[in-house]
Amino acid sequence: MAKQTVNNIKLGLFVIVGLVLLVISLYLIGKNSSFFGSNIQLKARFHNVNGLVEGNNVRFSGIQAGTVKKINIIDDTTIEVTMQVKKSLKPFIHKNALANIGNEGLMGNKVINIIPNDEPAPVIDDNDLLTTKQRANTDEIFQTLSSTNNNLQDISHDLAITVRRINNSQGIWKLFNDTSISTYVNHSLKNIDNAAAQVNDMAKVLNNITIDMQHGKGTAGVLFSDEKSGTDLKTAISHINNASKEADELISKLNKLTEQTQNDLDHGHGIAHDILKDSLEAKKLKNSLSNIEKGTAAFSEDMEALKHNFLTRHYFKEERRKKKRKANSQDSQ
């Protein structure tokens, strides 16, 4: 009887272990497909679900967040996907989060990725519609790749032609094969080296000159840094200054003089006034001048009479002859 009890205990243990394992496995599966525990529903609308089926995983920033519950066709371009997402993730998903359809690995199942947005937005509610981002599917990627391949093919074709041309070009090969070029290049390099050395020397000299200038040697140095010549220049300038001052004074004196003259003229003082302003005086002056004219005409007559006088006639003749001779010699020349 005791043995029977032991056997029963063993049997009980066996059954219980088996059932517990069953329950554990069912629980683990249930946890995965979010059968137990509270969920919220989210929706997203796509143009193309790329083979997504009910039961596919939903991920939020890569975390397993739930599963696809239902896929409905709304119209010919819109497919609504209903997702069950763990309630515990609700505070982290915001209304502006993006949903897109991705792959688990290259060949794996489709998944819906919910991607958080950087912009602030209120937390999501049950039955909210998420905005979607259609991602390039594999076909499109392959199409792009194929055009890239075509481009590559063209490029490699062109490259091949270029290389062939280079290969066939005798000029380039001649250039490459010409051994004298290296010596020329060598010479040129040497020349460049020399030139550089000269430039270096020149720079040294220039350097020395500037140093000398700084220390006041040479003409330029004296010009730039000698104090004595500076003071000389200063005194010269001050002399010029004085001279101009004197000239200024002179001009002001002249000015005074003309003012005085003007004054005299206006108020009837001096000879200038007599000449320019006084009409009586002017008449006198006119008379005197006509008298002088008359006097000189008389004198001219007298002189003419004198020429014809026998005493002085000879002298005038002689004068005329001299003049004639002079004019003739100038003409012959």
Partner 1 sequence: MKIPGPGEEFLNETGAIARFTGSFVRETVSPRYEIKEFIRQCYLIGYKSLPLIGLTGFIMGLVLTMQLRPTMISYGVEAKLPAMVSLSIVREIGPVISALIFAGKIGSSIGAQLGSMRVTEQIDAMDVSGTNPMKFLVVTRVLAATLMLPILSILSDTISLYGSFLGVNIRSHMSVHLFINQVFSILNFTDILPSIIKTFFFGFAIGIVGCYKGYYSKNGTEGVGHSANSAVVLSSVIVFILDLLAVQITDLLGYN
Which residue in the set 18, 62, 218, 268 belongs to the binding site for partner 1 (CB under 8 A)? 18
Q: φ and ψ at 97, to 5 degrees?
A: -65, 150
Q: Is 36 in the site for partner 1 (CB under 8 A)?
A: no
Q: Is 177 in the site for partner 1 (CB under 8 A)?
A: no
Which is closer to partner 1, CB of 11 or CB of 306?
11
Q: Is 25 in the site for partner 1 (CB under 8 A)?
A: yes
Piece of the chain touching partner 1 by CB under 8 A; list 30-38, 221-229, 288-296, 312-320: 30-38
Shortest Å distance, C-beta 11 to partner 1: 4
Q: Is 70 in the site for partner 1 (CB under 8 A)?
A: no
Give me the residues paired with residue 39 across strands.
Answer: 86
Which residue in the set 1, 35, 113, 223 belongs to the binding site for partner 1 (CB under 8 A)? 35
Residue 171, phi-psi category: left (phi > 0), alpha (psi -120 to 50), beta (remainder): alpha
Q: Are 65 and 99 in contact (CB under 8 A)?
A: no
**Closest C-alpha to 57, from 121, 105, 122, 124:** 105
The residue to which tokens 């259609």 are assigned: 134
Shortest Å distance, C-beta 103 to partner 1: 14
Shortest Å distance, C-beta 10 to partner 1: 5
Which residue in the set 1, 2, 28, 74 belongs to the binding site for partner 1 (CB under 8 A)? 28
Which is closer to partner 1, CB of 43 or CB of 59?
59
Give me the residues paired with residue 102 across strands.
Answer: 111
Which is closer to partner 1, CB of 106 or CB of 136?
106
Which is closer to partner 1, CB of 49 or CB of 67?
67
Report d(CA 264, CA 273) in Å as an integer.
7
**Closest C-alpha to 68, from 95, 91, 39:** 39
Q: Are 72 and 82 in contact (CB under 8 A)?
A: yes
Which ranges of 216-226 would DSSP assign to H, the alpha helix?
218-225
Which residue in the set 2, 10, 96, 134 belongs to the binding site for partner 1 (CB under 8 A)? 10
Q: How far is CA 141 from CA 111, 136, 146, 255, in A?
A: 18, 7, 9, 102
Which is closer to partner 1, CB of 84 or CB of 130?
84
Query: Under DSSP, is residue 284 helix (H, G, I), strand (E, B) or coil?
Result: helix
Which is closer to partner 1, CB of 11 or CB of 161?
11
DSSP 238-252: HHHHHHHHHHHHHHH
Which is closer to partner 1, CB of 1 or CB of 311?
1
Q: Is 162 in the site for partner 1 (CB under 8 A)?
A: no
Q: Is 63 in the site for partner 1 (CB under 8 A)?
A: no
Query: Under DSSP, is residue 278 helix (H, G, I), strand (E, B) or coil?
Result: coil
Which residue in the set 1, 2, 30, 73 belongs to the binding site for partner 1 (CB under 8 A)? 30
Q: Which amino acid is at 172?
A: I
Q: Is 153 in the site for partner 1 (CB under 8 A)?
A: no
Q: How far is CA 153 from CA 5, 147, 149, 161, 222, in A?
A: 83, 10, 6, 12, 75
Q: What residues line the site for partner 1 (CB under 8 A)?
A: 4, 7-8, 10-11, 14-15, 17-19, 21-22, 25-26, 28-33, 35, 55, 107
